[in-house]
Amino acid sequence: MTDLQKRGDRSPVPTDWTYAPAPESTDIVRLQERYGLYVGGEWLETKDQFTTIAPRDESPLAEVGQASEADVQNAVAAAREAFKSWSKLPATERAKYLFRIARILAERSREFAVLESLNGGKPIKESRDVDLPLAAAHFFYYAGWADKLEYAYPNRSPKPLGVAGQIIPWNFPLLMLAWKIAPALACGNTVVLKPAETTPLTALLFADVCRQAEVPPGVVNIVTGDGSTGAHLVRSEGIGKVAFTGSTEVGKAIQRELAGRDISLTLELGGKAANIVFEDCALDQAVEGIVNGIYFNQGHVCCAGSRLLVQESIHDQLVRKLKRRMSTLRVGDPLDKNTDVGAINSKAQLDRITELVQAGTDEGAELYQPPCRLPEKGWWFAPTVFTNVAQSHRIAQEEIFGPVLSVLTFRTPDEAVEKANNTMYGLSAGIWTEKGSRILWMADRLRAGVVWGNTFNRFDPASPFGGYKESGFGREGGRHGLEAYLRFE
Amino acid sequence: MAQAPVLPRGFELPLKQRLPRVGAIDQVAVEERAADLAKRSIKKEAKVWALELAIRCCDLTTLEGQDTPGKVAALCSKAIRPDPLDANVPSVAAICVYPNLIPAAKERLAGSGVKVASVATAFPSGQSPLGVKLRDVEDAVAMGADEIDMVIDRGAFLSGRYAKVFDEIVKVKEACGDAHLKVILEVSELGTYDNVRRASLLAMAADADFIKTSTGKLPGAATLPAQLVMLEAIRDVYEETGRKVGMKSAGGIRAAKNAIQYLVQVHETLGPDWLTPDLYRIGASSLVNDILMQLRKEKTGAYQSKDYFTND
Amino acid sequence: MTGGRLAVRKTYKLFIGGAFPRSESGRTLELEGYNVARASRKDAREAVVAARKAFGGWSAATAYNRGQVLYRLAETMETRAGAFAAACTGRREVARAIDRVVWYAGWADKLAQVLGSANPVAGPYFNFTIPEPTGVVAIIAPTEPALDGLVARLAPAVVGGNAVIILASDDHPLAAIELAEAVATSDVPGGVVNVLTGLRSELAPVLAAHMDVNAIDVTGADGDVAALEVLAAENVKRVVRAREDRSPWEIASFMELKTVWHPIGR
């Protein structure tokens, strides 16, 4: 018995449970030193290049082509040439190409997920569990539409628009590519896609998916570059469609640029979503929804629930729970499987977040950040919540596009609606209440394209997504997403 | 259960302060959160630490009609020294048996630090008169049980007789004396997470030391979302009153990986304070061997065979 | 004046918020034999205010109710067919216009079924998409045909629940005012339809730039449409053009789509 007792007296075990690093291996990604443009099924060299880097440590990843006006023209010409045969291809054949792409994305999902996190800074668990499955699913969904368009639009004889010029943002690089390319190709268009300046790599890797899927040359063209490349694309004579996801400011510039040209345009722009929490909600799940609503993808989400409207009666309790929950968020290396909040995408974005957070403090809002050690290299911003925010504060009005939440209060459902709608944006909104009729009452009155009841930041290829007011027009996803890429005779 | 429960008279008294809001649980969201937490990747020293903790928090259980003193004695040896080849592997927290087996366990465990827990109160259904249940508890305590695992009267709960459920727990607690009381909710019989939360708060209001998911006698036993709902109720009680109530998940936890998922949930919901056998238990019969295999794999680097670990 | 009776001539005024005011500017234009009000920038602003005020109630009305109100408009148009005929190309155009209103009236309570959807998302969520009116819509009426051209743009915008401001044809404004009078005597709530007469070159840019106008229909715009579109971009206005003669998709072009998610759980 004595040795048993001794074992009972074993030295005390530490109570602090620090998770060991669980890094996802980057071996699966083989980067080239240098990438050209993917045009007409071939790689074209550009005169100028720029370096794309990893936001987690600012290390260079590859040299990427800066597409000039002539380069863009080449790509549009290649797409126009390819359109002739692609648009005449039996629709079932088009469908099969898209199914192939969906399958290949699923097969190579780990490679894409790692590259996405490397180049964009988002946590691997998100690129692995959200971006990649959704991107593959998007192709799979629209593949099925390719030969069923006449059932979506009976008596309207749907026809493709031609070459779609598509410009996508850096927050969901591959997923936004899928949202753009899948419906465009399904409807018989060809595309010239410009990925965001800071996140070109998964789009360039997608070119390899097109190779594997044997997509005909010129059907998908990828041109990389900064804003000027996008401007060349929008101004190009050869396009029949522009689809843009990004800032409202650039969206307006594109709308102006296309004035008088009668080119089909869809815009998916900024947002300042209200996430409205009623006192009778399932509180702990609402807290999860709030956290997911604003800290998912570092808050680099146009539909992020960046304005928390809390019924005053539960404000203190909710904020206490929220802060406690924030303290368990793991901020750090995007490639670590346990990371909840990754790196800020770019220095410029970090500066903007920092500036707005400073404005929030200056205007008298109360800042809270959980204690967390941020890595020294790379761009980081701790999860932040502002309480005591007034509707007139900049942090309650402007899109921050970072992990920053502003908390406001309301007293009645009418006041919640009024505050929620009191913005130039109208992309999304969230409602948390256990009362079914109130969910529907609120959903009816919120001027937003996507309303999440007792959930937030859910996406699906079958679910149309897009905004009211200055959040843009047109829908992506679902049957409604086809319309952006069709004309009717 | 369409309407909010009517709280029994005196319901709030044991807490001395107002009860946390009963509120509701959204099934989809709580299941997603649980699934999300289950994806935590626990490696290397963090994994070894978790595996050893899982053993320290284990209530090694046998609750069979065919249990004999011999069987229980063997299990007690396992409880004290789970891995005969490795003295660094800690003992489990307790042995959990039927009342008749308490003396055998008590004798074998004497001086080891491993506690004896006994189920009582007409386990597992609880469908007996209160007098019988109290006698059951008193006998178990008299025979030396350190801990009592009682079942709530689900029939009473589901028919809205919360006062009956509450009063029984209060009386059982009195009957326990110094023995710790774990209150089994039998979550798979409660039908909804809302009920799991209500039953959790009810049990804590009635002064339970631990709340426990399941008897282990039904196919749907402990689940990660059910534990999460209970942990959140414990957290609310703690935040309202400062009182720390323990949690025990039991039934169906057979794999080491699974045990780590339960521990991660405790860690991220209640914090490190609850990562101790004083406040967290896993009730299991076959889990320990899988943990031992994982521990040895971590030490040797090679995947293990069951043939090298004793069945008790 | 010689022996015969002197006709009592109509004063053609603006139609704002259910009332028939003169232009606050006091200006008129002599057109089609009448002194037609020449609306000012301020009148345009007032019309937007009236439309915004009316939008809430009209968009919240039941679809059944909107259908009935529109059908009622067709009824009142029918009784005023003579007056309409004098203001357009004649009885055949009037008949076409009235039938068009009836056709669109019937769409009110079918729209959500044709344009909306229940979406089978991969998860435990109920998800549906419904069309909702975009808000305040400025319509630059086509010059020809004066009545039916206008009705072809007005009816799809209004049936979906929008509130509209019509910029009447420069040369043939009478049809628009006649229509306003029919609207005023039907059950269309005040402010849902507003009519401005005057110079479109003066008024269209005001509405195109107005930050509280959600969409602008440029089907009837002449001159520098591109300039209007540039102005419209300032608040990301929906710029609408007629694509089809009669179609639910013409209604759709004045609609937003709202998608609602909710978990499915016990």
Burial class (CB in 10 A: 0-12, 13-18, 19+), A260: middle
Is 50 exceeded by the pLDDT of residue B3?
no
The continuous run of DSSP H or E covering C1 comes out as: none
Query: Where residue C2 falls among pLDDT bands split at 50, 70, 90?
Result: low
> What token pair was written down for A295?
């800290």
Whether A29 is in a domain gets the answer no
A284 and A251 inside one domain? no
CA distance B228 to A255: 49
Can you list the alpha helix ranges (DSSP code H) found in B86-216?
A: 102-109, 130-142, 154-158, 162-176, 193-205
pLDDT at C223: 84
| Beta bridge partners of residue B95, listed in sequence order | B60, B116
**Nearest C-alpha neighbor of B51 from the set A5, A23, A20:** A20
A145 and A182 inside one domain? yes
Is 80 exceeded by the pLDDT of residue A37?
yes
Say whether B27 and C266 touch across the interface (CB within 8 A): yes
> What token pair was written down for C74?
């067709």
> Do A446 and A427 touch, CB atoms closer than 8 A?
no
A265 and A281 inside one domain? no
Least confident of A83-92, B18-27, B178-187: B18-27
Whether C58 is in a domain gets the answer yes
A94 and A229 inside one domain? yes
Whether A458 is in a domain gets the answer no
CA distance A459 to A462: 9
Say whether B27 and C265 touch across the interface (CB within 8 A): yes
Q: Which residues of A touch C205 (CB under 8 A)?
A: none
Residue A255 sits in a domain of what CATH number? 3.40.605.10
> Residue for token digits 């602090």?
A16
Query: Where residue A489 falls among pLDDT bands split at 50, 70, 90?
Result: confident
pLDDT at A14: 53
Whether C4 is in a domain gets the answer no
Whether C17 is in a domain gets the answer no
A358: three-class secondary structure by DSSP: helix
Q: Any chain C CB within 8 A of the CB of A144? A: no
Q: Catalytic positions of A, please?
A: 268, 302
Is 50 exceeded by the pLDDT of residue A7?
no
Whether A241 is in a domain gets the answer yes
The CA distance from B153 to the nearest CA of chain C, in Å, is 22
A227-233: average pLDDT: 98
What single string gives the DSSP state of each residue in A270-338? ----EEEE-TTS-HHHHHHHHHHHHHGGGG--TT---EEEEEGGGHHHHHHHHHHHHTT--BS-TTBTT
pLDDT at B51: 97
What is the total count of domains within chain C? 1
**Structure letter (DSSP) for residue A127:** I
Say whether B26 and C264 touch across the interface (CB within 8 A): no
**Which string of b and e fits A365-378 if b means at least 16 CB within 10 Å?**
beebbbeeeeeeeb
> Hey, of B31, B32, B41, which one would you mutate to test binding to chain A, going by the most A CBs within 10 A of its CB?
B41
> What token pair was written down for A435?
């009362």
A327 and A248 inside one domain? no
CA distance C38 to C30: 9
**Nearest C-alpha neighbor of B123 from the set B156, B148, B87:** B148
Whether C1 is in a domain gets the answer no
Share of chain C above pLDDT 90, in %: 94
Is 70 exceeded by the pLDDT of residue B2?
no
Q: Which residues of C touch A460 (CB under 8 A)?
A: 119, 121-123, 125, 127
**Nearest C-alpha neighbor of C134 from the set A40, B66, A474:** A474
Whether B10 is in a domain gets the answer no
Nearest chain B alpha carbon to C125: B28
What is the total count of domains within chain B? 1
Query: Where residue B241 falls among pLDDT bands split at 50, 70, 90?
Result: confident
pLDDT at B13: 42
Residue A384 sits in a domain of what CATH number? 3.40.309.10
Q: At what angle do helices A91-107 and A201-213 cross, to 10 degrees?
A: 120
A260 and A299 inside one domain? no
- In this predicted model, which residue has the larger pLDDT, A145 or B19? A145
**Interval A117-143: pLDDT, tens:** 999 999 999 999 999 999 999 999 999
CA distance B231 to B208: 14
A462-479: average pLDDT: 98
> Do A126 and A297 touch, CB atoms closer than 8 A?
yes
A323 and A428 inside one domain? yes
Is 80 exceeded by the pLDDT of residue B21?
no
Backbone angles phi, psi at B311, to 5 degrees: -95, 120
> Residue for token digits 């101790």?
B276
The domain of C147 spans: 28-263
**Interval A208-229: pLDDT, tens:** 999 999 999 999 999 999 999 9
Whether C22 is in a domain gets the answer no
Share of chain B above pLDDT 90, in %: 87
Whether B43 is in a domain gets the answer yes
Say whether B276 and A15 touch across the interface (CB within 8 A): yes
Q: At what angle do helices A132-145 and A91-107 cross, to 10 degrees?
A: 170
**Interval A292-343: pLDDT, tens:** 999 999 999 999 999 999 999 999 999 999 999 999 999 999 999 999 999 9
**Interval C205-248: pLDDT, tens:** 999 999 999 999 999 998 899 999 999 999 999 999 999 999 99
What is the total count of domains within chain A? 2
Say whether C263 and B192 touch across the interface (CB within 8 A): no
Residue C65 sits in a domain of what CATH number? 3.40.605.10
> What token pair was written down for C28?
């008129």
What's the full length of chain A, in residues? 489
User: Which residues have a Cβ under 8 Å from the Cβ of C259 and sit 6 or more positions away?
Assistant: A449, A450, A451, A463, A464, A465, A478, C119, C127, C128, C129
pLDDT at A15: 58
Give residue C55's identity as a one-letter amino acid code.
F
Q: Which residues of B touch A17 (CB under 8 A)?
A: 46, 49-50, 53, 263, 267, 272, 275
Residue C210 to residues A268, A269, A427, C25, C46: CA-CA distances in angstroms? 21, 20, 21, 19, 12
CA distance A444 to A436: 13
Query: Where residue B10 falls among pLDDT bands split at 50, 70, 90?
Result: very low
Q: Which residues of C touch A424 (CB under 8 A)?
A: 235
Whether B283 is in a domain gets the answer yes
ipTM: 0.95
Whether A4 is in a domain gets the answer no
Nearest chain C alpha carbon to A247: C236
The domain of B195 spans: 18-297
The domain of A322 spans: 274-453
pLDDT at B312: 76
Q: Any chain B CB within 8 A of the CB of A12? A: no
A152 and A286 inside one domain? no
Whether B101 is in a domain gets the answer yes
C86-107: average pLDDT: 97
Query: Where residue B15 falls among pLDDT bands split at 50, 70, 90?
Result: very low
A69 and A140 inside one domain? yes
User: Which residues have a Cβ under 8 Å from the Cβ of B115 and sit 6 or more positions away?
Assistant: B93, B94, B95, B109, B146, B147
A484 and A349 inside one domain? no
Is 70 exceeded by the pLDDT of residue A4?
no
**Interval C135-166: pLDDT, tens:** 999 999 999 999 999 999 999 999 999 999 99
